[in-house]
Chains A and B, each alone.
Chain A
Amino acid sequence: MALFAVHDLTHFFGGLRAVSGLNLSLEKGELVGLIGPNGAGKTTVFNLITGIYKPAKGRIEFLGRDITARSPHAINRMGIARTFQNIRLFHDMSIVDNIKVAARHEATYGIVTSLFHPPGFWKTEHELDVYCRELLAVFGLDKKAGDRSSSLAYGQQRRLEIARAMATRPSLLLLDEPAAGMNQSEAADLIDTIRRIKDTFGLTILIIEHNMHVIMKVSQRIVVLDFGETIAEGSPDDIRTNPKVIEAYLGKEDPNAA
């Protein structure tokens, strides 16, 4: 059985059909790319999966359970974490605190404990601190852990978002344009990191990306979306030569032009 599946997912913005009858399924350990021209509905699909939008129609299943239209925090707690296309870090907080907010598995004390700081409170906090810094080290961000997250360079902010998502201990990770604004060497680094965390944590990953170099290199399977519909699905090589995909990106050749 698939780890994650979407059946007939449909969503409207006013009269506009943003996502239309989307079917998608991910096996455990798969890394699937989701591509398509601007406005194809990719990010909307992520927002539907993570509960930020409620779908007009369709069903989303994760680990055999129906998670359609659950609240975002409940979906995250079941094991789906994401990053954002327009970076959404907690800018007023330090880098390590960004991770701490997400790492709820490492500190589970209740409100009364938080008011009285009984013995043992700081031991928990200290362990949380160590865990978060180790996680940051995986992403090469541990050196600046105490700095404000807004002080990071753009590419590092994207890495921090991935680290923060990982702190929630997901089994499915949704990456929304992780390589946006990165130069070639940063992107190469990112490919490396994605592969590494996928293997270390046994992750399943769904990734939206405009950087074709990254997506072709990293995905095992690619789904192409246009006008909210799947127009093609297959291995990177199939997609590269698929006439429908080329048409969606570049337009149709005019038969009369020649």
Chain B
Amino acid sequence: MVTQTKQSHFSRLIVVVIAFVAIQTVVGCLSGQRQFQYYARMAYLIEINIILTASLALINGYTGQFSLGHAGFMAIGAYTSAAITTIMPKILTGASLDPSTFLGNAGFVCSVIAAGCVAGVFGFIIGFPSLRLRGDYLAIVTLASGEVIRAGLRFSNFLGGPRGIPGIPPFTNAAYLGLFFVASLWMMRNFVYSRFGRACIAVRDNEIAAASMGINVTFQKVSAFIIGAFFAGVAGALFAHMSRYINPDNFGFLKTLDVLIFLYIGGSSSIAGSIVGAGIFTIVPEGLRLVNLESWRMVIYPLILILVMRFKRDGIMGDRDFSFLVPWKYKEMVLKRTL
């Protein structure tokens, strides 16, 4: 741990916050103009992917449970929120919620939180029986669960069936995204720096020792799974109101695969890893498209993966976090003892 003063910690944190607010404001202002719309969407997508990746990090990285069904939770979130802002209001009043009214916005915020909660419930339903399995078996069961969710949505005619839900109002803007992005990362960071975060790492390191030290291993795994599912649901809700159209095939195994790549490239046991992984790997494919190398995407993308895994097996960030992500009180506790 590098020695650092309280002043330098908070000045760095303030710089990061100001930079973030500035970027978010610029993106928000430019998003209205047609020629910048694409870039604004990219910025939004990066933030959504970071939430998604960090939520998977809680399960796959910190708790060490290899889950392959994360897109399923995202789908649950996306559909739940779209049902609240689009389908139900259309049935009741004939129109979806209006982004220009206060009621519409309140409905959207509620729908995002509801999306997280419903995804969390599904996290429990899937996690409770399957987290007793280990390694490959868990991977297969979660993979199957994700596909069951997708198939289920294809058959749910009241949710649009295979054609999905069109005409979702564009609630996701720079302000909402900034808010949910910061709140989600803050809460996940807090979880990691608590006794539950430590217990998750203990379970990953040595399950038998953890159980023998009084940790309820199943409870620990299931709670990490539920919290991961919750934030995946939030990310799904934000995604639905950004893309304005969702269908079940948005949330297939390939989506999970994308998130897994973000996670392991960035570093699976740190929030910083999720930020770096999702940030870089959302930009890379789009960047290749801009320089007309899109057809080479599937060559370059795996090549980067192979190189990172060859030279940095723990991902770009490993288990290191950005300094501003570490709570000051935590640093203080460690510093006091090492000085």
List residues of A whose CB falls within 8 A of some B CB: 50-52, 71-73, 76-77, 81-82, 84, 88-93, 97, 100-102, 104, 107, 109, 111, 113-117, 121-122, 125-126, 128-129, 133, 145-146, 164-165, 167-168
Contact = CB atoms under 8 A, between A and B. Distances in A.
Q: Which 6 A-B pairs have the closest CB atoms?
A: A114-B194, A88-B209, A72-B211, A122-B329, A76-B214, A90-B205
Contacts of B327: 117, 122
B187 interface: yes
Contacts of A72: 208, 211-212
A133 to B, nearest CB: 7
Nearest to A80: B212
B325 interface: no
Contacts of A90: 201-202, 205-206, 209-210
A51 to B, nearest CB: 8
Given A91-B205, A93-B205, A165-B213, A101 B187 contact: no
Contacts, number: 116
A129 B209 contact: no
B286 to A, nearest CB: 33
A125 B334 CA distance: 11
A77 B214 CA distance: 6
A100 B198 contact: yes
A49 to B, nearest CB: 11
Contact of B215 (A73, A82, A97, A167): A73
Nearest to A168: B214
B187 A116 contact: yes
B217 to A, nearest CB: 7
A81 B1 contact: no
B333 interface: yes
Contact of A111 (B209, B223, B269): B223
A116 B194 CA distance: 10
A168 B213 contact: yes
B229 to A, nearest CB: 14
Interface string B95-107: 0000000000000
A164 B333 contact: no
B195 interface: yes
B277 interface: no
B324 interface: no
A236 to B, nearest CB: 28
Interface in B307-326: 319
Contact of B202 (A101, A109, A145): A101
Contact of B337 (A81, A104, A133): A133
Contact of B197 (A77, A114, A164, A168): A114
